[in-house]
Structure 1
Amino acid sequence: MCGICGIIDKTKNVEGQVEIVQKMMDVLYHRGPDDRAYHTDLGIILGFVRLSILDLESGMQPMQNEDKTVTVVCNGEIYNYRELRDELKAKGHIFHTQCDVEVISHMYEQYGPDFIKRLNGQFAIGLYDKKNDLVFLGRDQVGIAPLFYTRVGEAVVFASEIKALLKYPGVSKELDLTAIDQMISFPGIIAPRTVFKGINSLESGHYLIIKNGEITNTEYWDLLYDKEIKYKDENEAAEALKAELEKAVRYRLNASVPVGFYISGGLDSSIIASLINMVGSDTIRHSFSIDFTAREISERKYQQLVQKQVKSIHHERLFGIGDIVSNLKDAVYYSESVLKETYNTASYVLSGLVHENNMKVVLTGEGADELFGGYVGYKFDKMREASKAQRMSQLTKEDMEINDFLWGDPCYTYEKNHGSFLDQRRKLFSNKLVDSLKDFDCSRVKVVDTKKLEHMDLLQKRSYLDFKMRLSDHLLSDHGDRMAMGHSVEARYPILDINVIETAMTIPSEMKLKGYDEKYILKKIAEGIVPKEIVKRPKFAFVAPGSSDILKQNDEYINEILNFDRIKSQGIFDPEYVEELKKQYSQPDFKLNLPYDSDMLIIVITTGILMDIFEVAGV
């Protein structure tokens, strides 16, 4: 992937904006260290920095159609470009490169904004339509490629990362307190919200039309589970799903540079590694893994099993608490967000290992837990449903009111009982913010359209919520794209291929969570191609040591971030309570049960780091 940015402002001389776009591209250098260019038109500038992966000689952007009336910058990959290219050629379109992105301008010319529904890929697109004097911004169905935008006066500014937007004069660095509250309460911040007030993340499966100073936001795809259940036989379902996964892997191995893959030791990455070996057995590929010095979270035994089976050239990095401390500042800088776990640092170091070995592309296994009932929450839902009367007696009136507002069901719990959790949030926030909590309380802000959940069964409902609240804006963004691109590495996700997802939607829930056996249908696929020790092992959450371990390192920078007077002057968190947490977390025998316990102190630490890096004022 690459980096894109742009300014739309019909009231200003475009030449006066070029210097700003250059500064925006400067801070996107890590996304595209190989080349850079920009295109100007009346009131429009599109900027591009390139990470060269496909058609190295002639794949430079911005790209245009035949008569130069449609100009495109794209961060990402269009995997079905060959099929689309053949279709467009048959309709008379002329191509000049072998680059996948070239199909975008012609697809738009042929089909208008709805062309985006035909794309299979991971992409964020900026497109200028000169004839209709409009700008189109679009993001892939799942949200793998990031795209942020904001408005400053008459100008609309967009970019692959927030740090580029902050180079535009007048963009505010004010913290969005609801976003911080979401980070405390949910798996992460939920689009369109970001940690910076007024800076929006374009939602996955959405596109914008910017015309005459107006912005129109359209949803073109969603994980609605509205498709007919197609498979009643589990062998038939497994065969169909495996065929789509094989195709998705083939698509993602296409590149003009070597392609490697991650091995975590878990089921999902092991399936991808095995399929890579099956479909490309004539190529010896590089694989990469992180192993933790803490024995209780080490997966090296399982990583080695996979590596031996696929016979890759393997690279591993031993990772300890000291590595978390030394990489945490970089992790926050590239994430551009508050973090609620430390494992972003492990992902960042892992992509660094890829970069050190002169590689630009890796395949990884994210997405299976959300599609196939992999998290423990799916089992909890099933247990609660079996004892609903008892469950209702455990909920407070406030729990039920919030559940009904957020999820459309007073008895449905996602992540935690948010009414009961309110006391914990009140403790963490400063007295000043507690007094105004109702103004930014995330449990009073809709995050999904609850009508969409009404027809879904229990597993589908959690799958939808995980997609919206965990996958797109957390695992694929601050944990995925940003940590990979921090080292100029493109991560590709076969399980999140749109055809794999739509096939998964036609498989009944009882084949995903069979009894209490998670990802059952994936295990059927894995039989015979993945070592049996991995197929049969229980789900193992990818975690890294938490803030209690960090505190025990007695790092000078972390100590300064948590300084009582500093916390007090920032006005976000209660300094007295932070001191209590520090004392508790520093006890020799204290250990957070991650990922089930909330690591409150890592939120405080990373908020402080974010404010330090981006020079954000307190409240």
Structure 2
Amino acid sequence: MCGIGGIFDLKRERRINTEIIKEMTSEIRHRGPDATDFYNDGNIAFGFARLGIIDLAGGMQPLSNEDGSVLMVCNGEIFNYIELRNDLILQGHHFKTNTDVEVILHLYEEKGYEFINELNGQFAFAIFDFKRMLLICSRDHFGIAPLFYTISDDYFIFGSEIKAILRHPSVEAEVDLVGLDQVLTFPGLISPRTMFRNIRSLENGHLLLVEGIEKIKDIEYWDLDYPEIGEISYDKSEDYYKEQLSGLLEESVKLRLRSDVPIGLYLSGGLDSSLIAAITHKLTPDIRRETFSITFDEKEICESKYQNMMSNFIGSNHNNKFFVYSDISTRLPEVIYQCEMPLKESYNTASHALSKLVSDKGIKAVLSGEGADEFFAGYVGHKFDRIRSQLNNHAQAGMEEQLTQDKLWGDKYFFYEKNYWDFSAVKRRLYSKQLNEHYSAIDCINHYVIDREKIINRHTIHKRSYIDYKLRLVDHLISDHGDRMTYANSIEGRYPFLDKNIAEFSTLVPPNLKLNDFTEKYILKEVAKQFLPIEIVEREKFGFVAPGSTYLLKRNIEYINDMLSYDSIKKGGYFNPDTIENLKKEYSSDGFKLNMPFDSDLLIVVLTFNIFKEKFKINNFA
């Protein structure tokens, strides 16, 4: 993978300056430090920063088709490219390179943009069709590869990261207040919203057709589709589902091991990354892999016992990064700059340290275990749903909360993370007087959150799984926590659970094989028994929570004290300085402890927002 950027002059007046696309690309060289190249004819300009993974000698971009009528830049990997390439050659297509992404050009020639669902991979690409003067931008099924865009001064401007877009002279950095409210309210931002006003994030499973100023079309080409209640009958045996899932996992890992450079493995010590590591070892037993883990001093949170167990089990060269909490404050400004958004927790600092360990070892790509919890009912919320169902206490929420839940999910009794009506009062106390004057406009509950039609009349497990996939996985776990923290150190993350065949199969697995009584990820654990030590399979799920603002306040760090000072908060104009002062006293008092992740660490959002504001030179709110 790599970094891409581009500009399309919607007026078609050849106004694009080559130096601008070069500056945009320079901002994302951390995504592709191996080489850069550019194309500019005045109307369309592409920039490319390469991280060489496949076809190291010949895989440079931008890349054109045989007659030069179609040009492309792609940030990503097409894992099934060998099969697609062979079919295309049989149809008469000629390839210039051995790189995986060239299949995109020839598939487009053959089928138009409808080819996208044939791709199995992680990608964000832009294709320019010179004959039609058409720009096509697309983001993969799960949004693993980011793509941001804006329209300014009749230019369509896009990039792998927003910092590239901000280098265009017509674009200014301004806060999207609904985005800020999303960060406070949900696990994080929700595409197409970003923290920057007028800059959008292309949604996962979507493509854009850009032809002119008034001719831009957003098309959803894929999404998870859980069956409605009663739509299908689960009449197959448990063994059938186990065999199917096992085969799909092996095929997914096999595809993601395609590379011309060594592939490493993240090992958390939990079920998901351990299963990926074990399957990798089964498929490539003669290759001694590099594995990578974070360890901590505190025995109650350190998982080194299980990390070492798995390393010994697969015979890897294991690399530990001992993470000390004092590193949080040191790394936090850089992390926020790379994430391009405020955060609700500090754990990304550990992720950033881990990817640096991978980079220092000379590894360019790692397999990771994200996605299993969302697809196979791995979160504690599924257990709470079961308890509420057994107690029949769905109607405890007040009338206002029921109306809010119905507005969000199409189900007035469905609880997801918090009581949003009550939390609105918390937010209003947190916001400044100026923001409260616009509260109805910035309240994210009043804006698009999720397509309710995708969860209405679905089983409760499927309802929660879909919401977790959209609100937690796509724009948090594999975006700010995944992509941004790996690419900050020029590392590509690959996610075998985020294979569209596995995801689509998961929609057909009976709910009772996902949460079996109170055993989460039951079917996955049953599959794992053939690959893993039983100690790993039967471990209690471990959810690490990184130290937050309470820890940072007590360390008396100068820049943090300054950013949370009464005068700074008042001058910034976004938050109520009196509320912040009260929170600081509460959070720093003896014995105070937030019950994470169920409580909201309000001050870490305020702190990281102010870091974000400083890093991107954003004005105070007047």
Instruction: Report the Cα distance in structure 2 between the residues aligned to 1:528 and 1:368, rounded to whole angstroms.
Output: 17
User: Which residue in the other structure is 1:524 paired with?
Assistant: 526
User: Which residue in the other structure is 1:400 paired with?
Assistant: 402
Q: What are the equivalent positions in structure 2 for 1:138-157 lying under 5 Å apart? A: 138-157=138-157
Residue 98 of structure 1 deviates from its aligned partner by 1.0
- The SS at the match of 1:295 is coil
- In the alignment, structure 1 residue 535 sits paired with structure 2 residue 537: yes
Comparing 426-435 with 99-108, greater Cα deviation is found at 426-435
Instruction: Report the Cα distance in structure 2 between the residues aligned to 1:548 and 1:536, rounded to whole angstroms.
Output: 33
User: Which residue in the other structure is 2:449 paired with?
Assistant: 447
2:550 to 548, 551, 570: 548
User: Which residue in the other structure is 1:20 paired with?
Assistant: 20
User: Which residue in the other structure is 1:260 paired with?
Assistant: 264
User: Which residue in the other structure is 1:74 paired with?
Assistant: 74
Instruction: Report the Cα distance in structure 2 between the residues aligned to 1:223 and 1:321, rounded to whole angstroms.
Output: 38
User: Which residue in the other structure is 1:104 paired with?
Assistant: 104
User: Which residue in the other structure is 1:160 paired with?
Assistant: 160
Q: What are the equivalent positions in structure 2 for 1:47-58 lying under 5 Å apart? A: 47-58=47-58
- The SS at the match of 1:352 is helix
User: Which residue in the other structure is 2:222 paired with?
Assistant: 221
User: Which residue in the other structure is 2:481 paired with?
Assistant: 479
Instruction: Report the Cα distance in structure 2 between the residues aligned to 1:477 and 1:229, rounded to whole angstroms.
Output: 35
User: Which residue in the other structure is 1:566 paired with?
Assistant: 568
Instruction: Report the Cα distance in structure 1 between the residues aligned to 2:402 and 2:310, rounded to whole angstroms.
Output: 45
Residue 230 of structure 1 deviates from its aligned partner by 6.2
User: Which residue in the other structure is 1:178 paired with?
Assistant: 178
Q: Which runs of 5+ in 1 are unaligned?
A: none
User: Which residue in the other structure is 1:89 paired with?
Assistant: 89
Instruction: Report the Cα distance in structure 2 between the residues aligned to 1:581 and 1:293, rounded to whole angstroms.
Output: 28
Residue 575 of structure 1 deviates from its aligned partner by 1.0
Q: What are the equivalent positions in structure 2 for 1:178-197 lying under 5 Å apart? A: 178-197=178-197
User: Which residue in the other structure is 2:314 paired with?
Assistant: 310
* Maintained 8 Å contact 1:248/1:497: yes
Comparing 297-306 with 74-83, greater Cα deviation is found at 297-306
Instruction: Report the Cα distance in structure 2 between the residues aligned to 1:395 and 1:263, rounded to whole angstroms.
Output: 40
Structure 2: which amino acid aligns with 1:56? L
* Maintained 8 Å contact 2:16/2:43: no
Instruction: Report the Cα distance in structure 2 between the residues aligned to 1:244 and 1:145, rounded to whole angstroms.
Output: 22
User: Which residue in the other structure is 1:199 paired with?
Assistant: 199
Instruction: Report the Cα distance in structure 2 between the residues aligned to 1:282 and 1:557, rounded to whole angstroms.
Output: 50
Please give the TM-score of this superposition, normalised by the length of structure 2.
0.97
* Maintained 8 Å contact 2:569/2:576: yes
User: Which residue in the other structure is 1:251 paired with?
Assistant: 255
User: Which residue in the other structure is 2:124 paired with?
Assistant: 124
Structure 2: which amino acid aligns with 1:386? Q
User: Which residue in the other structure is 2:333 paired with?
Assistant: 329
2:426 to 421, 424, 430: 424
Residue 242 of structure 1 deviates from its aligned partner by 1.0
Instruction: Report the Cα distance in structure 1 between the residues aligned to 2:328 and 2:426, rounded to whole angstroms.
Output: 26
Structure 1: which amino acid aligns with 2:125? I
Instruction: Report the Cα distance in structure 2 between the residues aligned to 1:520 and 1:229, rounded to whole angstroms.
Output: 20
Instruction: Report the Cα distance in structure 2 between the residues aligned to 1:249 and 1:151, rounded to whole angstroms.
Output: 39
Instruction: Report the Cα distance in structure 2 between the residues aligned to 1:531 and 1:274, rounded to whole angstroms.
Output: 10
- The SS at the match of 1:494 is coil
Percent identical pairs in the alignment equals: 47
Structure 1: which amino acid aligns with 2:111? Y
Residue 131 of structure 1 deviates from its aligned partner by 1.2
Deviations 1:437-474 (A, max 9, x none): 11111111231121221232111111111111111011
- In the alignment, structure 1 residue 468 sits paired with structure 2 residue 464: no
Residue 418 of structure 1 deviates from its aligned partner by 0.4
Residue 582 of structure 1 deviates from its aligned partner by 1.2
Matched residues, number: 617
* Maintained 8 Å contact 2:194/2:200: yes
Instruction: Report the Cα distance in structure 2 between the residues aligned to 1:452 and 1:613, rounded to whole angstroms.
Output: 38
* Maintained 8 Å contact 1:368/1:495: yes
Comparing 312-321 with 361-370, greater Cα deviation is found at 312-321
Q: Which runs of 5+ in 2 are unaligned?
A: none
* Maintained 8 Å contact 1:403/1:412: yes
Residue 229 of structure 1 deviates from its aligned partner by 6.0
* Maintained 8 Å contact 2:10/2:156: no
Instruction: Report the Cα distance in structure 2 between the residues aligned to 1:151 and 1:229, rounded to whole angstroms.
Output: 47
User: Which residue in the other structure is 1:234 paired with?
Assistant: 238
Residue 97 of structure 1 deviates from its aligned partner by 1.3
- In the alignment, structure 1 residue 286 sits paired with structure 2 residue 290: yes
Structure 1: which amino acid aligns with 2:93? H
Instruction: Report the Cα distance in structure 1 between the residues aligned to 2:347 and 2:94, rounded to whole angstroms.
Output: 46
- The SS at the match of 1:73 is strand
- The SS at the match of 2:484 is helix
Deviations 1:242-300 (A, max 9, x none): 11111111111111111100000111001001111110101000000001223322111
User: Which residue in the other structure is 1:387 paired with?
Assistant: 391
Structure 2: which amino acid aligns with 1:218? I
- The SS at the match of 1:551 is helix
* Maintained 8 Å contact 1:231/1:506: no
* Maintained 8 Å contact 1:396/1:420: no
Deviations 1:1-40 (A, max 9, x none): 1000000014366474211111101110100000011112
